[in-house]
Structure formats: structure tokens, C-alpha cells
């Protein structure tokens, strides 16, 4: 880890834990986080978190800008001081998983800790989808149609929610060479494309229903070969899995929108780890 990575980690940790005399509002914390570098390079690491941040001079300036924003915000907080002698009235918890109107909070589009509770994929995801997150899980979303959660400290134990456009032509080849012609629009088209990834082992697909919506489910296991884990493609990246990584796939048709739900783990995963994945998937509710 570089010193820049250490700094980002310290700053994000401070955002997570700072309370002070006047706790930072959630919106301000998100605004500061937005200034942190998110430049990703495609890579083939294991589990939901598969990419490495690369630091450049412009990104270092972005870190500095985020630090300045944070310093100004904290300065204002200290200058305003506590509301002595006045009833501040009820305030929403900064860590609540519910918005003031009682609806689930949107899953953050960045890597970070989550409180146990109900989350949604937000309005940017083409389908209304909510789920329950257990204690000790984190967000690892890459974008609006590429969202995920995983167990703290276990990046290969997680659940992803995706809109998949295509698959790679060769899991061991260049990741920018995609299946041509691309995958068709149906659930069966994508099931066949993923099942036929060279070197991967797939179980027979069976029918599944998730909150009333029909689809297919199957399990796909990556080959035990380094560098041969390129898989499916979303809006702005190619997914990569680790050697022997297992993905329990559910591909649904939600009123014409093809939604992919994947629970990922390695063969040595414990019953407790698998239970966490299955509890998240079992809690899914969908509103098209």
C-alpha cells in the first residue's frame, strides 16, 4: 500500500467515525468522499472487490482538494459550537438505514462500512430492489448498474446486483475482446453465454422465482488458473473472478429488464459465510 493509499484510508476512516461537537451531516460526508480518487483499472482479483486504485498527479490534487473541503467543514463545525441552552430537537441518526420518510437508504456508490438494515439500489438502478444487510458488511459498488455488498475482511464473500450487457470472448484473453455477436436480450441468452465461458464449469440452469419474478439459476465455477477469470461485462467494466471462485447466479426478467444477482465465494467458504450470502439474497424485494 502506498502512502497515498494510507492517506485515503485515514481520511475515509475519519469521515466514518468523526463526531465532534457538531457531527458532520451525511450529505457533507458524501460530498467530501466524492472528491476522493476513484480511477480504476480493470483487474482480475477475486470476489466483489476486484479493482485497484492507481494514483496520478491529478488524483493527488483531488486528494488535496478533498482535504481542504474537509478542513473547511470541520472548521465551521467547531466555530458554530454546541447549541448551549437550546433544545436542538430530534435529529436523524447519521447511521440510520432509513430516510426521514421511512424508506430504505440507497446503497452508497463507494466502498465503505454499512450498518445492518434495509438498503435499496437507488433510483439509478433500472429496477426498484431492496435487501437486508447483516451486521459487519460493507458496500463495494462500482456504479449505478454494478452494485455489491460483502463481508468485512472477506472480499470474496458477497452479493452483486448487475445489469450485464455481454461476456468476454475468452476468459484468458484480452478483457476488451467481447463476444461477437454480443449476447442476446433474453435470460436464456445470458445463461448460455456465461455457462459456455471457456474453462468455466456450470451446473444445469433451473427455474427460479425471486419476489414473484421469474428467471433462471445456476452455479458457475472459475478455472483454477491465474489470469483466466474474465467474465461478464457491465456498462463500464469487465468483471473478473479469482481462480476456483464460485458464483451462484440468478438471472431474472423484471418486466423486460434483465437483472443479474450473484452470490460469490470460494469452495472453502464456511456454512456461516454461505448463510450470510443466502440471507441477503432471500431478503430481496423487487418493484419494477
Tens digit of each residue's pLDDT (9 = 90 or more) over 167-186:
999 999 999 999 999 999 99
Can you read off the three cell numbers belonging to residue 74?
A: 470541520
* Nearest residue to 164 via CA among 223, 244, 239: 239
Can you read off the three cell numbers belonging to residue 244?
A: 476456483
Instruction: Give the mean pLDDT of 131-148.
Output: 95
Contact 30, 122 (CB under 8 A): no
> In this predicted model, which residue has the larger pLDDT, 232 or 15?
232
* CA 103 vs CA 131, 143, 144, 147: distances in Å: 12, 21, 19, 19
pLDDT at 74: 40
Contact 135, 142 (CB under 8 A): no
pLDDT at 57: 35
> Minimum mean pLDDT among 62-71, 79-88, 235-244, 269-278: which range?
79-88
The β-bridge partners of 129 are 286
pLDDT at 90: 36
Quote the CA–CA distance of 17 and 171 in Å, as a whole number. Answer: 41
Contact 24, 72 (CB under 8 A): no
Can you read off the three cell numbers belonging to residue 229?
A: 477469470
Can you read off the three cell numbers belonging to residue 50?
A: 476486484
Quote the CA–CA distance of 52 and 39 in Å, as a whole number. Answer: 8
Quote the CA–CA distance of 147 and 162 in Å, as a whole number. Answer: 6
Instruction: Give the mean pLDDT of 45-51.
Output: 50
> In this predicted model, which residue has the larger pLDDT, 65 or 118?
118
Q: Among the residues of 134-246, which ranges form H helices?
A: 187-195
pLDDT at 288: 77
Q: Does 7 score more than 70 pLDDT?
A: no
The β-bridge partners of 285 are 130
pLDDT by residue (tens digit) across 207-263?
999 999 999 999 999 999 999 999 999 998 999 999 999 999 999 999 999 999 999
Q: What is the pTM of this model?
A: 0.70
pLDDT at 96: 53
∠ Cα 99 104 116 (to 5°)? 105
Quote the CA–CA distance of 199 and 221 in Å, as a whole number. Answer: 9
Q: What does the radius of gyration of the chain's CA atoms come to, in whole angstroms?
A: 21
> In this predicted model, which residue has the larger pLDDT, 87 or 172?
172
Sign of CA dihedral 77, 119, 129, 235: positive
- Quote the crossing angle between the two packed helices 26-34 and 3-17, to the nearest 10°: 170
* CA 68 vs CA 7, 63, 74, 178, 240: distances in Å: 14, 9, 10, 42, 35
Burial tier of 42 (Cβ tally within 10 Å: 0-12, 13-18, 19+)? middle
Cα end-to-end distance, the chain, whole Å: 42
Can you read off the three cell numbers belonging to residue 255?
A: 418486466
Torsion angle defined by CA atoms of residues 277, 279, 283 and 288, in that order, rounded to the nearest 10 degrees: 20
Q: Does 206 score more than 60 pLDDT?
A: yes
Burial tier of 261 (Cβ tally within 10 Å: 0-12, 13-18, 19+)? buried
Instruction: Give the mean pLDDT of 132-138.
Output: 96
Amino acid at each position: 500500500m502506498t502512502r497515498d493509499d494510507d492517506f485515503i484510508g485515514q481520511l475515509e476512516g475519519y469521515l466514518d467515525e468523526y463526531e465532534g461537537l457538531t457531527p458532520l451531516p451525511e450529505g457533507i460526508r458524501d460530498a467530501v468522499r466524492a472528491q476522493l480518487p476513484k480511477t480504476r483499472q480493470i483487474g482480475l482479483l477475486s470476489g466483489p472487490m476486484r479493482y485497484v486504485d492507481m494514483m496520478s498527479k491529478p488524483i493527488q490534487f483531488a486528494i488535496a482538494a478533498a482535504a481542504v473541503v474537509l478542513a473547511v467543514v470541520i472548521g465551521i463545525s467547531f466555530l458554530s459550537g454546541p447549541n448551549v441552552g437550546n433544545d436542538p430537537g430530534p435529529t436523524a441518526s447519521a447511521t440510520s438505514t432509513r430516510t426521514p420518510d421511512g424508506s430504505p437508504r440507497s446503497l452508497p456508490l463507494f466502498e465503505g462500512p454499512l450498518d445492518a438494515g434495509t438498503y435499496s439500489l437507488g433510483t439509478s438502478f433500472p429496477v426498484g430492489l431492496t435487501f437486508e444487510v447483516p451486521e459487519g458488511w460493507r458496500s463495494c459498488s462500482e456504479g449505478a448498474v454494478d452494485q455489491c455488498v460483502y463481508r468485512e475482511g472477506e472480499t470474496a464473500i458477497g452479493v452483486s446486483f448487475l445489469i450485464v450487457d455481454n461476456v468476454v470472448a475468452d476468459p484468458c484473453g484480452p478483457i476488451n475482446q467481447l463476444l461477437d455477436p454480443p449476447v442476446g436480450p433474453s435470460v436464456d441468452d445470458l445463461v448460455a453465454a456465461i455457462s459456455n465461458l471457456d474453462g468455466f464449469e456450470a451446473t444445469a440452469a433451473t427455474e427460479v422465482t425471486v419476489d414473484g419474478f421469474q428467471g433462471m439459476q445456476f452455479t458457475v465455477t472459475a478455472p483454477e488458473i491465474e489470469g483466466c477469470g474474465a467474465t461478464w461485462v457491465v456498462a463500464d467494466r469487465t468483471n473478473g473472478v479469482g481462480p476456483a471462485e464460485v458464483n451462484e447466479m440468478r438471472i431474472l426478467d423484471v418486466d423486460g429488464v434483465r437483472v443479474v444477482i450473484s452470490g460469490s465465494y470460494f469452495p472453502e467458504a464456511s456454512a456461516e459465510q454461505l448463510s450470510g450470502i443466502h440471507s441477503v439474497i432471500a431478503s430481496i424485494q423487487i418493484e419494477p
